[in-house]
Amino acid sequence: MINTVVAGAAGRMGGRIIQMIEKSGEITLSGAFERPDHHSIGKDVGQVVGLANMDVELKGDIKEAMEGADVLIDFTTPESTLKNFRFISKTGQAIVIGTTGITSEINNELNHLAEKIRCVIAPNMSVGVNVMFKVVRDLSRILNRGYDMEVIEYHHRLKKDAPSGTAMHLAKILADTTGRNPDTDLVYKRKGFIGVRRDEEIGIQSIRAGDIVGEHTTIFAGVGERIEITHRAHSRDNFARGALLAATWIMEQPNGIYDMQDVLGLKENNNV
């Protein structure tokens, strides 16, 4: 059994991951923690996430929670993830990160620290979304001339970052495979008399409404036709399930940073 700790255990994703761990036959919950001022610190984490007692106390400190653990699963905030990553880089334990909104500066530090540990970082842990990444990559290679490319993402009204990490990754795939510049060719907003669309543009639009779990659409629009690739998340279970798959997989890998494409074996013959 893999001893797993969940960061942000009282949050929406943290709670769902713990519920999925409870059903798992390969992973056990050995610890859980939240920010030190959280009102549930000291309670049994099973009660916190709506389960029976699990004999695991919700801690307010990563050091206490990680004692005897093999891997940390972190779906928190960029700042908290960096702090947790720094701790793990000193202990040598493994970490799985599904946090979104990570800046390039934080990402650079994560890449540097990851030389010392095993880590899976992915903007989206869903198996279906990662298959979508591969399909979009293949389509963009074929349709790189004469087709306009747009990314539209929908999420719940409480999501704090925009565009989503998944939308940004889709846009990066489109830019990388078509030789476009992410700094100049990504368009996040259109308003007023903007003129004719440039061929190099990759549009990214964000919708925030209601309780939408997550939806991403990539559009390839040519003259007389268009192709749309859409993934809709019906619940957070698919993200949690992917995180557990990554936590199991990473235990057998050498030190370094990996993503869900590695976990799922989708990088074969893929140079991007």
Active-site residues: which are they?
155, 159
Report how far residue 266's alpha carbon sits from residue 260's, in angstroms, rounded to the nearest whole number.
8
* Cβ burial 13-51 (10 Å sphere, 16+ → b, else e): bbbbbbbbbeebeebebbbbbbeeebebbeebbbebbee
Whole-number Cα distances in Å, 3 to 26, 44, 67, 154: 9, 17, 10, 34
Of 234, 243, 212, the C-alpha closest to 17 is 243
Q: Which residues contact 63 (CB under 8 A, 6 or more apart)?
A: 87
Sort strands 27-33 and 148-155 into parallel, antiparallel or unpaired.
unpaired
Give me 88's structure tokens.
């793990």
Give dist(CA 252, CA 254) in Å, integer: 7
- Concatenate the DSSP letters of all residues of 160-195 into one string: -SSS-HHHHHHHHHHHHHHT--HHHHEE----SS--
d(CA 239, CA 12): 11
How do strand 186-187 and strand 202-208 relate by DSSP bridges? Answer: parallel
